[in-house]
Structure 1
Amino acid sequence: MTDYKNLKLIATSSPHIRGSETTRSIMLDVIIALLPALAFSVWNFGIEALVLTAISVVGCVFFEWLYRKLMHKPQSVGDLSAVVTGMLLAMTCPVTLEWWAILIGDFFAIVFVKQLFGGIGKNFINPALAGRAMLVASYAGSMTRWFDPASGSAPLFGGVDVTTAATPLSYLKNMDMEGLKAAYSVKDVFMGFIGGSLGEVSALMLLIGGIYLIWRKVINWQTPVAYIGTVAVLSFLFPKTGSGLEFMLYSVFSGGLMLGAFFMATDYATSPVTKKGQLIFGIGCGLFTVFIRYFGSYNEGVCYSIMVMNCCTALIDKYTKPTRFGVVKSDKKEASAK
């Protein structure tokens, strides 16, 4: 195979737009944006959150290095994409998940979802989400064991006795708004004083990270705003319990919505490239998330909604492709008819 990274390409005639961004610099920005949520999870759950994340990152980097070594391909671990996958996968898992389980998820995400399709930029669904979906399907008990941070720090890899707690989404699923308000206030959910996956407990920290990515122009605002806005509007208009405002706030701040909207749905390889397409993609993710939460047996719908829309990305790009300069509508119709 051609080693495209070592090709010497000469740019001649103008116009050309040169940017200082590289894959490594973009991934570094994503890592920086995830640090507030990671730091809060360590404060909320204890050092076990950092240990689980470190194991996941090391596993992803190792499996990518090993695969490319065995396949005699140029190494790509230096672009930090495997580090991001490891962090995101850990963020979608409970702090009590066994160390060997997270490594299985790493292997599936890196080898089966990313590398077998050609590596970074060629996978059609988000590797971290695919890894999480596989872990939920294979180890549902471990993936739905939510540690109660009010009981202290989480024991190493679950320990023998783990104090668990219901998440806000489980209360909403059971239409128990009074029980939810008694257990967690809206402020608790927004700040992150709740049980759940590492990266979904603090909406505030994820919002800070998302704003940083938009400010750095790593992501566009269209997808996260359309995604969160769709969930907010539908939750407000059609509350399953309590008032529309209460149901909306708990629905937006709970679960993996913030993590998915800013860090998963905006993945370059698996999301549309056009601004209009990104809006459609975000709205689609929001619709599927609400439908799964309302009518499915699963409390959360972020993971599967994004993966479903990942499969629609090529179609969205096709029908939102901007018109080329100098091409009129009649020319477009004739070209499409051929």
Structure 2
Amino acid sequence: MKRQLILEDGTVFIGEGFGSDIENTGEVIFNTSMTGYQEIISDPSNCGHIVTLTYPLIGNYGINRDDFESITPKISGLIVNEVCDHPSNFRSQLSLDDYFKAKNIPGLSGIDTRKLTRMIRQYGTLKGTICGLNVSVHDVVKQLNDMTLPTDLVKQVSTSSAYPSPGRGNRIVLVDFGMKHSILHELNKRDCDVIVVPYNTKAEEILSLSPDGIVLSNGPGDPKDVPEAIEMIKGVLGKVPLFGVCLGHQLFALANGAETEKMKFGHRGANHPVKDLTTGKIAITSQNHGYTVNKKSLEKAKLEVTHIALNDDTVEGLRHLEYPAFTVQFHPEASSGPDDTKSIFNDFLQMIENFKKEGEELCQNA
């Protein structure tokens, strides 16, 4: 069935609809990953996004039970050049079309995704609507220009109540701003005793759980839309080792007096080179963010830059100059993407051990 994508500037792309036939609106972005569409679709950081995939053939290995990053996808729509109707893979359980129908997500195929991506790169992310052909383009464009994108995205994807993921190692409180399950998986692999808490949990509540460490997860939207998290970070900083990923990295920067800003079209894909300024090594990373830490604003914060993006020199990692706390903008858990930086989880656990050792030494010398 013919459907269309209408952008706020009046541009129209007509293609074949798949999945749900509902009308959906969102921020149109692009992702350059060549694989991992299931992880992209289910990544909570894509809440409110209509995602354009630049790789031309999507759906060829189907949908399986193992590669989800969340149980309920919050993506607003998917734009592809070609969708595969008959996937072939030993893990495949259903097609992308069937999955989108089940989850009430609209998709659009058969359009020039290269042209759409060039537009986003030139003009920045655009608001758009996936809809049928029986609508007034003029009316939809007016609605898009009049509307304001939601600011409660983290609230939409965070857990509503705390829950455990038991282990016998270090007690980690994982603050869920839109957590990818792969972050929890990496902590579980290291036998951490994880307690996942909602985004608006107060510092006192977190500290009452006696954590050995705190992880700030990824998530969608503007970090300035989550002021309660910024206050929480201020309340735990220095008391417990802390590690932040993506949105957690941005919130950490704001809590320490730095500033964040919206990027023109963001970093979204699994091929972003990042340099570790401590070792000089370069890693290929998986990324999905539309905001960045303003490098100049770090001059007034007690933070140092540990990683930079080689494509545009943006900040990709921070370390506190006084307290045991560091963050990265990229996704060390990858999923999908390269495994170059998974050792960062080990670095975090080593930081916890060093913090414990320093505490024991202080007690002995008291």
Greater percentage in helix:
1
The structure showing larger relative contact order (alpha-carbon pairs under 8 Å, at least 6 residues apart) is 1
Q: Tell me if both proteins adopt one fold, taking TM over 0.5 as the criterion.
A: no
Greater percentage in strand:
2
**TM-score, normalization: structure 2?**
0.24
